[in-house]
Chain A
Amino acid sequence: MIPYVWMEERAVRDVTKHAVLNLIVMTALLSVVGVTILVDMSVIVKIGIVVIAFAGVIVYSIVISEKISEKREQDDYYRKQRDNIELQLIIDAMRSEYPFIMIQNVTKDTCRVEYNETEGKDKHAAPTINATLDLVLNTIPEPIHRAEFQRKFSREALLKAYEEGQTTVRCCVKQKINDESHWMDSMAILYRSNDGDIHNVSMVRNIDDDLRKAHEFEEALSDAEATTRAKTNFLTSMSHEIRTPINAVLGMNTMILRETNQDNIREYARDVQNAANTLLGLMNDILDFAKIQSGKMEVLPAKYDLGPTIDELLRVIKPKAHEKGLAFEVKIDPETPALLVGDAVRIKQIMANLLNNAVKYTEKGSITFEVGYDRISKEQIDLLIAVTDTGIGMKPESIEAIFSSNYRLEENRNKNIEGTGLGLSITRELLSRMGSKLEIESTYGQGSTFAFKIEQKIWSEGTLAGTQERVAAQKNEDEAMENFHAPDAKILVIDDVEMNIVVVRSLLKRIGIGIDSALNGADGIELAKNNKYDIIFIDAMMPKMDGTETMENIRKKCPLNKGVPMIVLTANAVQGAKDEYLREGFTDYLAKPIESKLMEAMIKHYLSSNLVVPYEVEEEESEQEEFTGVLAEINKIPGIDVGLGIETSSQEEIYIKICKMFYDSGYERIKMIEDYFNEKDIQNYTIQVHALKSSARLLGHMEFSEAAKALEMAGRENDVETIERDTPALLEEYKRVVQALSEVYNTSENDDREEIPEDELKGMLMEMQEALSAFDHDTSAMIMDALEEYKLPDGFTATYSKLKTGMAEVDRDGMLTEIESYLQRCQ
């Protein structure tokens, strides 16, 4: 029967109409949302039920109020007409979504097809509800579907559902219609009409499309996952690609730091080192983040000593804090057990993140680092770490943001702070992997405390108080290891990047070990077939044959190197990589960038002791480090031993004066010796070389002094032959030394030449630029000579010395670049 609703007032009618329309729209919406049905059908159905129930209640209450307030005596005819019109409107609306609508009077057990647009569906209509049900059930091939449909749509089930307060019954099943299988969504809306009968409007629609969309959505979802995976892989491999050159830069830079005596070069090299390390840190952050995203972040517990871990950290952080003028307080409970089991690398990373953040966001005041513990049992503690700063603090919503599941970097907030801004995300994630969480207390504008506690096992006795002794013991071991020579040992280094081999060679230069190298696995194997090595270092990632394969081949094919320690060199800092390599058969693992100390230690460790010779550092070498300023410069002149000179002249001050005198009188004396020599004035000649003998000795240039002495002797004995033979060489050396000294004085501060006006210098450089462009070497040389007459500004000395080298090397391009960059710096 038609739902019988009394409606007289237009307003009420509208409300009713809207309510039902709303219901229909909701249903329509639901079916759109049906896309998500597969994702979580039960939730959606529940929401649907609630919404429809609500709509039903509205309809019902309207019906009730209608009953009370309206006059029943209205003309039946008009009423029915209107009802029909209303119902027609409703049905029209429903039709757009549901091509099949059936109205059942559940109480009286009658059925009527109200609307049918589907072919063959009318076959499924019978006079009674259960007969209709039977017809429908016949079209459902799946027994489970059939059972569900029957359970929900039998007349008894509908009555029971209504009594239990349900207003909708819904079921999605596969039905066979015209021999085709379709997913159909059947929905019944239950209500009681004013005559007390329970009715149900059953609507059926095909949801094949919805399912297809849902399926597409799923596919899109898995595509997105694949993209994320690809992104992670990309990041991982990029980080490797980027690390490789950074490692080369760091390695070469270590050599510069080690070999240069020039302060400005050393300074540049330090800057390079800092920048490269920062870059490496950023790469690690990005890599970690990628790993978190892809769920690859691992926590690997192992035995560690908390003491040195903290020491190392503080050594890095303290200077940073002091540099910013911040006080750095350390409150460590000395009784804290230090020999623990946990992922030391990650714990250190977390502490470093927190400390770095504190330094970064604090402009003045102090940073406090606290370490303590709560004992859980004899073998377990909660390690407590807290970092307190007096920095900018955080608003409560920012703290919330950190804890929200999708916390990422907030661009605005971090705009002026260097770094990836991923630190806290990573920290939060790492802690959660270790079963802990970050506690934040913060007052905006006053500072914050970041704290966490983390459960750690104790593997041996020992507290943080004992760190010093343990470190000292370790250091003794380390020191005993330093300074050795291994001249009889021979190693093989296999790495596809030539620069890396250069780095290794340079790093190991001082231990005098024999090094063979190969640029690929195959060459390495060939070498290992024919040569016996004491250690083989193999780069993990090489084209064609990777490190592991190379290692396996050497093990198999090179009997000569049976049992040789093979050490994998890798920039792959992923946790667990080490174990993986060891499992594959490598003897040990050395991380890139290679630290010379670690590499030497490893070499010493794996060399049999008869190959290792203790090595005394020569005294001169250590003294060389101490000279500063002019003395350092003079010490660089080949032949001159400043240490010896100071010793001979008894005092550093005197020695400095002697050097200056030697230089000042240099050209004049050279001329005199030359003249006397040419004039064959042996007597005066002898006087001059005699003077030279002593001044050269005072200068610390013994060889030169000896040469002068020999000629003095020759002069005394009138040995013209010797004088004729040896004087040119003597003069040449004299000129070289004076020239070298002139370079020292002309670049150092005690220079009495006139400072070159800035514009003049620029002008000269621009002219030189022009001359070089025209391949005019002579004009460039003339300009260089002219520059020599001036005292040059400090910022120019490095450029100047590069230009000098450039002139000697005829390196036109290099000089042009140098001038260009200097001129640009000036602007």
Chain B
Amino acid sequence: MEKSVLFIDNKDSFLLRTIRKDLEATEYECLTSVFDVQTLSKKKDTLPELIILCVEQEITSDMQALIFLRDLCIDDGHQLAFIGYEEDIREAKKIIASEYIVGEFLRPINAKQVVEEVKKILDRTGADSHKKHILIVDDSGTMLNTIKSWLEEKYRISMVNSALNAITFLANNSPDLVLLDYDMPVCTGPQLLEMIRSDVKTQDIPVIFLTAKGDRESVMKVLSLRAQGYLLKSMPRDHIVSEIDAFFEKLKAKGIRK
């Protein structure tokens, strides 16, 4: 069954374009509209259940349209999700009661994150059917882009090129796996792992080392760091992908057993 969603956005932002592109790629239907009572009321009967509103000043100041939207929720059982800055969302919520709001995405946001959330809302199914989120940490852009291209078909990929950025990323995101380069300048992989393990919020995130060193000593060292595993950069693409697939399979199996 095809699921659809309406995006209301007065500017055609790249963020929404990325989100739509991603949703459409996985066979969700995306409709768009500007925030205007007339335009909306014409389509009134064909509107999908989920409406995502890109909130901004221009929109919060259009009281009439907001009220129209609220009535849509109350009368026809539509659901709303907001994308916008906290301030603007707060404004919008003065009109639209939070019981109709199924999602809030505070900017700055990551398109992929929104996509996954929207899918969850639309599918109302468990998280398992969604793409697992992997963060790759490596100081080499080439390495990052290569691994990303290998994995992005099956996984949702984020990349950062330094430990510092990784920490920043992890402050707001909880990926399902971190692929961590061993040797990095400034703050090395093991140091980053230590930081991840010492923070309650991140300590349970699995980490797999990506390392160029295959000697016994390095491997032992890596394993002693309580990492979930290690992969050699020199391994062929298929090998790496299947290792990661296997990792998630094992995780799933564990979950079922529990």
Contact = CB atoms under 8 A, between A and B. Distances in A.
B141 A774 contact: no
A782 B15 CA distance: 9
Contact of B160 (A763, A770, A775, A786): A775
Interface residues of B, number: 30
A809 B108 contact: no
Contacts of B211: none
B109 A774 contact: yes
B161 A812 contact: yes
Nearest to A785: B14
A810 B159 contact: yes
Contacts of B141: 808-811
Contacts of B79: none
B13 interface: yes
Contacts of B144: 810
A786 to B, nearest CB: 7
B173 A775 contact: yes
A776 B14 CA distance: 11
Contacts of B21: 782
A782 B17 contact: yes
A721 to B, nearest CB: 24
Interface string A53-91: 000000000000000000000000000000000000000
A774 B168 CA distance: 10
Interface string B104-139: 000111111100000000000000000000000000
A779 B15 CA distance: 6
Interface residues of A, number: 22
Interface in A116-156: none
B18 A776 contact: yes
B220 to A, nearest CB: 30
Interface string B146-177: 00100000000111111001000100010000
A763 B14 CA distance: 10
A812 B136 CA distance: 13
A740 interface: no
B28 to A, nearest CB: 17
A764 interface: yes
Interface string A771-794: 101111111001100100000000
Given A775-B169, A808-B141, A810-B144, A783 B161 contact: no
Given A775-B169, A778-B112, A810 B161 contact: yes
A813 interface: yes
A811 B142 CA distance: 11
A767 interface: yes
B161 A776 contact: no
B145 interface: yes
A284 to B, nearest CB: 36
Given A775-B158, A776-B110, A777-B159, A808 B15 contact: no
A810 B147 CA distance: 12
Contact of A771 (B111, B140, B161): B111
Contacts, number: 73
A808 B142 contact: yes
Contacts of B160: 775, 810, 812
Nearest to B11: A763
Contacts of B14: 764, 767-768, 771, 779, 782-783, 786
Contacts of A782: 14, 17-18, 21
Nearest to B142: A808
B17 A771 contact: no
Given A767-B13, A783-B14, A776 B112 contact: yes
Residue among B11, B13, B145, B162 with max Cβ neighbours from chain A (10 Å): B13
Q: Which of A764, A774, A776, A777 has the most CB of B within 10 A?
A: A774
Give the interface SS of chain A, mostly helix, strand, loop or mixed.
helix
Nearest to B106: A774
Question: Most A CB atoms within 10 A — which of B17, B107, B110, B160?
Answer: B110
Nearest to B165: A812
Given A770-B108, A810-B144, A812-B165, A779 B159 contact: no
Interface in B193-220: none
Nearest to A777: B159
A776 B160 CA distance: 10
Q: Of residues B13, B14, B110, B162, which shows the largest number of chain A Cβ atoms within 10 Å of its Cβ?
A: B14
Contacts of A773: 108
Contacts of A779: 14-15, 18, 110-111
Contact of B15 (A770, A812, A813): A770
A573 B60 CA distance: 66
A319 B224 CA distance: 66
Contacts of B110: 771, 774-776, 779
Contacts of A770: 15, 107-109
B165 A813 contact: yes
A756 to B, nearest CB: 14
B15 A771 contact: yes
Contacts of A768: 14
A783 B173 CA distance: 23
A764 B18 CA distance: 13
Contacts of A777: 148, 157-159
Contacts of A764: 14
Contacts of B111: 771, 776, 778-779
A770 B162 CA distance: 19
Contacts of A771: 14-15, 108, 110-111
A811 B15 contact: no
Nearest to A763: B11
Contacts of B11: 763
A775 B171 CA distance: 12
B161 A808 contact: no
A18 to B, nearest CB: 82
Nearest to A813: B165
B202 to A, nearest CB: 15
Nearest to B173: A775
B109 A778 contact: no
Nearest to B161: A810
A808 B165 CA distance: 16
Interface in B15-44: 15, 17-18, 21-22
B29 to A, nearest CB: 20
Nearest to A808: B141
B145 A778 contact: no
A88 B11 CA distance: 102
Interface string A157-197: 00000000000000000000000000000000000000000
Most interface-central of B18, B140, B159 (chain A CB within 10 A): B18
Interface string A787-827: 00000000000000000000011111100000000000000
A767 B169 CA distance: 18
B26 to A, nearest CB: 14
A631 B13 CA distance: 37
Contacts of A812: 160-161, 165
A225 to B, nearest CB: 47
Contacts of B173: 775
A810 B145 contact: yes
A286 B187 CA distance: 40
Interface string A741-783: 0000000000000000000000110011011011111110011
A269 B190 CA distance: 39
Contacts of A783: 14
B161 A811 contact: yes
B83 to A, nearest CB: 11
Given A770-B108, A782-B21, A811-B141, 14 more contacts: A764-B14, A767-B15, A771-B108, A774-B109, A775-B158, A775-B159, A776-B18, A777-B157, A777-B158, A778-B111, A779-B110, A810-B144, A810-B159, A810-B161
State the 7 A-B residue pairs at the shortest beta-carbon distance, nearest first. Answer: A809-B141, A774-B108, A774-B110, A773-B108, A770-B108, A776-B110, A779-B18
23 contacts: A763-B11, A767-B15, A770-B15, A770-B107, A770-B109, A771-B108, A771-B110, A773-B108, A774-B108, A775-B110, A775-B158, A775-B165, A776-B112, A777-B157, A777-B158, A778-B111, A779-B111, A783-B14, A808-B141, A809-B161, A810-B159, A811-B141, A812-B161
